[in-house]
A = this chain, B = another copy of it.
Amino acid sequence: VERVAVIDMGSNSWRLVVFGYEPGTPWWNLVDEIREAVRIGAGMGERLGSGKPLLRPDRVELALHTAAVFSAFCRATGVDQVEALATSAIRDAADGDHLLTQIEQTTGLGARVISGEEEARYGWLAMANSTTIEDGFGLDIGGGSIQTLRIEGRRLADSRSLRLGAVRVSERFLPGEKATPKQLKALRAHAAAKLEELGWWSGGGRLVGIGGTIRNLAAAAMKRLDLPDIDVQGFLLTRDALEELIDELADRPVSKRGQVKGIKYDRADVILGGALVLATTLEEGGFDAIEVTEAGLREGAFFERLLGEDGLFEDVRAESVRNLAHRFGHDDAHDLHVWTLSASMYDGLAAAGLHDYGQDERELLWAACLLHDIGVAVNYDDHHRHSHYLTLNAGLPGFTPRELILIGLIARYHRKGEPDASELGHLAESGDEHRLQLLCGVIRLAEQFERSRDRAIADVRVSANGDAVSLAADCDPFRDATVPIWAARRNADLLAEALGREVAIDA
């Protein structure tokens, strides 16, 4: 395993993350992380408009100390490569280059300032490799600046950097303990004017967001949805939910904003400014919502090393599922065959007019088939519960929280139990109980048809006759179908319930 350290010297926090990967394979993983709230951009907003601002001495001191710690960490842990990147605050400061020179001289850490274009490119790599976006826009709200991106055919078409970072606008427009309506309005108007200059909004479409501010706002909005404790990966933060949060934040003095559920204490003083910039972007661009991803600058810089400069995963969802299955999986041939049989039944039942779910549910079923047994790594007893836990907690970039929970639930009920959709909380849709019943009914039978793990049942043919459904197992003539037929016959109840018909298993 090779290890790459990426150091992100942002305007707000500095973070060192270590990625592990197996060269020549797509398997990767975040393996270590340290951070320090350096706030190198603090105080710079105040001096905006008076030429290039200087970094504050107390911030420089902490920056030097933090660089020494990070540099020592890289040497001590023996990471194979180090990439240290400075963004907006250092880029814009009159003495930014001087700071990096000092850091190199005192700690040996060679960091470089990246341009707004480079920052946008890393942002794009992060978005395009952790979501399914093909065409649309991207937004990265940093401390000093924001990057706006246009994405066409998964490629970065254009990008612009605007000085609308959360720290910067907060210091300039929201200096007091309480924010007045007038201040909020002025901030929105300022952001709107800057965003309008871009002239590239087309009235909606898809918008992907990265960066700590957007992630934290998404986390706060998710807290209201009665979901299990999962990451914000793929979450759709709507305009309405965002405006609700803004109202709640603006109602409180700065010192109490960290008490809003989900808001991090160390972001409380700049979160309102960032939220207003985001809200203005949604309004200006005509977006109903922003799609949040956990990946960011650091992952972008890592993906460039993993995949090459223009490198994209061919299929983000497939990569996520395979990456997780690989980490805990123990029998790929079995998992794939459970999918083959599931797909046969799912498609056969649809062709017979017995359900009208489509490609979306089919893909969730596929993912659940590959992941249904990962929990065996924890304990064979109750391994369906552990597969569920591992899926929800490891996460699957490319899928929304609703899809992740559904995949987890299909894995959860692949062996027994009556599927329970309540975990979907406010993300539930009408018909979810039946949707889960059908999907779990199918995977449960596929698992039993492949109970002897030897592909004795090559395929399953579906036919409807009267009030009953017949599932005819195509038995491999060189194998023994005793176990699969025995096992399938005692596990057809759930599918029968979903279909509202008798299910007969024929050898």
Contact = CB atoms under 8 A, between A and B. Distances in A.
Nearest to A376: B31
Contact of A32 (B231, B327, B380): B380
A452 B73 contact: yes
Contacts of A386: 393
A68 interface: yes
Interface stretch (A80-88, A193-201, A479-487): A479-487
A389 interface: yes
A480 B75 contact: yes
A69 interface: yes
A131 to B, nearest CB: 18
A486 B76 contact: no
A169 B86 CA distance: 77
Contacts of A68: 482
Interface in A376-400: 376-382, 385-386, 389-390, 393-395
A454 B74 CA distance: 11
A260 interface: no
As for how many copies of this chain the complex holds, the number is 2
A244 to B, nearest CB: 26
Given A31-B376, A33-B380, A382-B393, 16 more contacts: A30-B379, A30-B381, A32-B453, A34-B483, A69-B482, A72-B480, A72-B483, A73-B451, A75-B480, A76-B453, A77-B452, A77-B453, A378-B393, A378-B394, A379-B393, A389-B389
Contacts of A75: 480
A381 B330 CA distance: 24
A76 B479 contact: yes
A72 to B, nearest CB: 4
A381 B233 CA distance: 13
17 contacts: A30-B380, A72-B452, A72-B482, A72-B483, A73-B452, A76-B452, A76-B454, A77-B452, A231-B381, A327-B377, A378-B390, A379-B393, A379-B394, A379-B395, A382-B393, A386-B393, A389-B389
A111 interface: no
A34 B448 CA distance: 11
A299 B55 CA distance: 67
Interface residues of A, number: 44
Interface in A429-484: 451-454, 456, 479-480, 482-483
Nearest to A31: B380
Among A65, A69, A389, A451, the one with the most B-chain Cβ atoms within 10 Å of its Cβ is: A69
A76 B456 contact: yes
A37 to B, nearest CB: 11
Contacts of A376: 31
Contacts of A379: 30, 393-395
Contacts of A454: 76-78
Nearest to A66: B486
A404 B390 CA distance: 21
A483 B380 contact: no
Contacts of A483: 34, 69, 72-73, 76
Nearest to A71: B482
A324 to B, nearest CB: 10
A106 to B, nearest CB: 12
B486 A69 contact: yes
Interface in A40-56: none
A289 B240 CA distance: 59
